[in-house]
Structure 1
Amino acid sequence: MRPGDPDIVFQSYGRCCNRDTFFVDFYDCFMAKSEAIRQVFKKTDMSNQRHLLRNGIMQLVLHARGLPDTKLKALGESHSRRGYNIQPHHYSDWLDALLQTLEKHDPYFCPDTRAAWIRAITPGIEKIKNAY
């Protein structure tokens, strides 16, 4: 990860959080990836889920900025086969949907911003995924 990546990502996320439709658009994009993903959310209160997503992304961003991985470990456990049973291969779809939604909502999104996001949050995503 490059030194400025966490700051670039934090600022980008702040711009996106100012748009009410960011989290709705994320789930529209994510669920369009596959029927299996749609099934995971079939009986989900999406309003609550969007709130959880907002916090989860923030935890990834804060971890990239140096905070401990305690919350990410808890997310990993809740998403593991002992919890929601989120299949590890869905995390690449999740990241892809996030990047597509960021590009749509962040007016300053560019290839460098995309690369900074990938570098910054991939280690946290791996921690969550590896808890499976």
Structure 2
Amino acid sequence: MNDTDLVFQSYGRCCNRDEFFIDFYDHFMSSSEAIKQRFVNTDMAAQRHLLRNGVLQLILTARGMPDRKLRALGESHNRSNYNIQPEWYPLWLDALLKTVRRHDPEYTRDLERAWKEVLTPGINLIREAY
């Protein structure tokens, strides 16, 4: 099985529990006071839904889908829109991996490596739109 298949299946296991998305934002917001402040007036239920779809888009793009939606995410997150700082993306990935480690019962170090390999090109595409 290739890395994209491993990550796709891992994400499916993680999505079986709504706590996955709650825990992700707990980890992500605790990584930086500036990030925490970005979510002060946010509808977190809606935000968790956006996260669920965003991670899926990263995985699907890695599996060969067109990158149109990731480019749109890059545009919405750039300095002219949400102004998501480029240095926050590694914190986002770290929070996601920490959450996967906690919620995927089949987690291994090799699976974590696969997650990094699969998501990094899409994350870089989004970040480069800054």
TM-score (norm 1): 0.97
CA distance in 2, matches of 1:70, 1:90: 22
Secondary structure of 2:65 counterpart: coil
**Alpha-carbon displacement from aligned partner over 1:14-52 (angstroms, at most 9, x marks no partner):** 000001100000000000001000011111110000000
Paired residues in the alignment total: 130
Q: Using the TM superposition, give the Cα deviation of residue 11 of structure 1 relative to its aligned residue in structure 2, in angstroms.
A: 0.2
RMSD: 0.8
Question: What are the equivalent positions in structure 2 for 1:21-100 lying under 5 Å apart?
Answer: 21-100=19-98
Q: Structure 2: 5+ residue runs without aligned partners? A: none
CA distance in 1, matches of 2:40, 2:77: 16
CA distance in 2, matches of 1:128, 1:115: 20
Q: Partner letter of residue 93 of structure 2?
A: L
Match for residue 123 of structure 2? Answer: 125
Match for residue 113 of structure 2? Answer: 115
Identity %: 63
Q: Using the TM superposition, give the Cα deviation of residue 99 of structure 1 relative to its aligned residue in structure 2, in angstroms.
A: 0.1
Q: Structure 1: 5+ residue runs without aligned partners? A: none
**Alpha-carbon displacement from aligned partner over 1:48-101 (angstroms, at most 9, x marks no partner):** 000000000000000110101000000000000111000000000000000000
**Alpha-carbon displacement from aligned partner over 1:93-123 (angstroms, at most 9, x marks no partner):** 0000000000000000101100000000100
TM-score (norm 2): 0.98
